[in-house]
Amino acid sequence: MADTKYIFVTGGVSSSLGKGIIAASLAKLLQARGYKVTIQKLDPYINIDPGTLNPYEHGECFVTEDGAETDLDLGHYERFLNVNTSQANNVTTGKIYQSVIDKERRGDFLGKTVQVIPHITNEIKERIQILGQDDAYDIVITEIGGTVGDIESLPYIEAVRQLKWELGEHNALVIHLTLIPYLSAAKELKTKPTQHSVKTLMESGISPEILVCRTEHQINDDIRSKLALFCNVKKEAVIQSIDAESIYDVPNLMAEEGLDTITLRKLDLKDDVVPNLDKWNFFVDKLKNATEELSIGLVGKYVDLQDSYKSILESFIHAGAYNDVKVNVVWINSEQEDHNETIFHKLDGLLVAPGFGERGVEGKIAAVEYARTHDVPFLGICLGLQMAVIEFSRHVLKLAEANSVEMNPNTPHPVIGLMEDQKDLKQMGGTMRLGAWDCELQPNSKLAEIYGTTQISERHRHRYEVNNSYVADLEKHGMLCTGKNPQTGLVETIELENHPWFVGVQFHPEYKSTVATPHPLFLGFIKAAKKFHTKA
């Protein structure tokens, strides 16, 4: 019998039903019972990782402690479980095929014909089971991206079929997330799409043990009985997932439906502990009962797809709840800088978002200037810090053509430049400063006060850095470089000497904010915005 149990979450009928939230919610319930749980995501696209994808294609790229550029669902996993993920938690078809082809080139297959079965499926099974080694986890939940029936998902479905058979009874189960659409003309919920979706899954040799049904309306007893009969599952294993006010309500909704109970029963695991969700529900209560509202401007160029800034938005929710406020995000397209100043005066704070490339940078610089000159609480993340340095150099140091070499390689004042080891790179993917890096904060600085320590570690995803040649001049005029990496001497944080709350960071604090531990930078930013709002 396997020591680690495996749960596979598949999706049918439609994409974007929330497999990641269901997986994270189930994991939270199992964790709250005392089980050690982790979640991984299998993505069927051929990119090695989402690092080179436009955010409009796939939403934000989430970065782990060990420097993996991953799917945004890993952000949900970390925010729900308060446990770090890693390279092993996100696997793509690109990684699978690259590994198999590398093995073939080395001669590892001893002249055999390399095929999808068994070579690709064996590689997938190996990646699924990596997290279950060394008894680090009792349960590994694997979310399979895409929708059942997609051509690109077939090798993953086949690998799951094989693995279920190999692991034996009670050691693996499949949860199928599907859609129960409501036809307003007929005024009824329809089960046929779910029946077809399960039939498609069964044609691949997999019969799901649990159905999770996304719906806008309550599912009655007749529908549960019908789904149980035609989809070959127990009636109690037909779980309703109704639209929720917040994703943070979903664990409680799943507990009410008994998703964790039926899961433990089918895995032959003990069900004698009531889930302890006290800390979770403390957060949910604060989130729901916040009465004061703040308007925070988020300045970026991907504002048409909110998933592009998913971790930032969730960090606002965490920090808002613990500051007893509701944060209303005002989306500001940085490519439309001519219209932005009419918005700025209505805001309680401004965040200039990360990004790459020249498009929209002048709008970000205009936002920085407004925040600096009007004492509006400001947080610049990654490119946001760089824009703050450029704005300050242009308007305070009077270096009118100051810029980043990313935007203008021939600028006479390259206040943002490339590290030496980045200058000759030809490949874009996975070649930036990635993952956790140490930062040493100056004692008595605003950042040290915010963190409550001078030694921190934060996650990075960038290629360009503050040019140390300009640091002395910046500091002389009031922009203090209060945090540096102790190994490289590179600037990590900046703050303004004569401003109520103006902070820029080269790293991405949003990647480390969770329900249990909201990030101190976001807590401090929202606290300052609340104070500014009160003053206004």
**Active-site residue numbers?**
382, 508, 510
HEC readout, 337-393: HHHHHHHHCCCCEEEECCCCCCCCHHHHHHHHHHHHHCCCCEEEECHHHHHHHHHHH
Q: What is the DSSP letter of 215?
A: E
226 is in an annotated binding site: yes
142 is in an annotated binding site: no
Identify the burial level of 218 via C-beta atoms within 10 angstroms of its C-beta, where 0-12 means exposed, 13-18 middle and 19 or more buried. exposed
Residue 209 near residue 218, CB atoms below 8 Å = no
CA atoms within 13 A on the CB side of 511: 32
152 is in an annotated binding site: yes
406 is in an annotated binding site: yes
455 is in an annotated binding site: no
The residue among 355, 376, 369 whose CA lies nearest residue 297 is 376
Distance separating alpha carbons of residues 98 and 92, to the nearest angstrom:
10
384 is in an annotated binding site: yes
Distances (CA, A) of 252 to 32, 280, 447: 11, 9, 36
Phi (first) and psi of residue 360, to 5 degrees: 85, 0
192 is in an annotated binding site: yes
291 is in an annotated binding site: no
Phi (first) and psi of residue 351, to 5 degrees: -115, 125
3-state secondary structure of 264: helix
16 is in an annotated binding site: yes
3-state secondary structure of 7: strand
What contacts 92, CB < 8 A, 6 or more positions away?
42, 43, 44, 45, 46, 47, 48, 49
383 is in an annotated binding site: yes
As a dihedral over the C-alpha atoms of residue 434, residue 439, residue 445, residue 446, rounded to 10 degrees, the angle is: 30
20 is in an annotated binding site: yes
463 is in an annotated binding site: yes
Tell me the helix, strand and coil percentages in the chain, rounded to 5: 40, 25, 35
193 is in an annotated binding site: yes
Q: List residues bridging with 176 in a β-sheet.
A: 10, 211
3-state secondary structure of 59: coil
Listing DSSP states for 291-326 in one string gives -EEEEEEEEES-TTSGGGGHHHHHHHHHHHHHTTEE
Distances (CA, A) of 510 to 72, 78, 523: 12, 11, 11
34 is in an annotated binding site: no
Residue 92 near residue 46, CB atoms below 8 Å = yes
- How is the beta sheet containing 139-144 ordered, strand by strand? 90-92, 37-43, 139-144, 5-11, 172-179, 210-215, 238-242
19 is in an annotated binding site: yes
127 is in an annotated binding site: no
Q: Known binding site for Mg(2+): residues?
A: 73, 143
Q: Known binding site for ATP: residues?
A: 16-21, 73, 244
Q: Known binding site: residues?
A: 15-21, 56, 73, 143, 150-152, 190-195, 226, 244, 355, 383-386, 406, 463
Q: Known binding site for L-glutamine: residues?
A: 56, 355, 383-386, 406, 463
Q: Known binding site for CTP: residues?
A: 15, 150-152, 190-195, 226
Q: Known binding site for UTP: residues?
A: 15, 190-195, 226
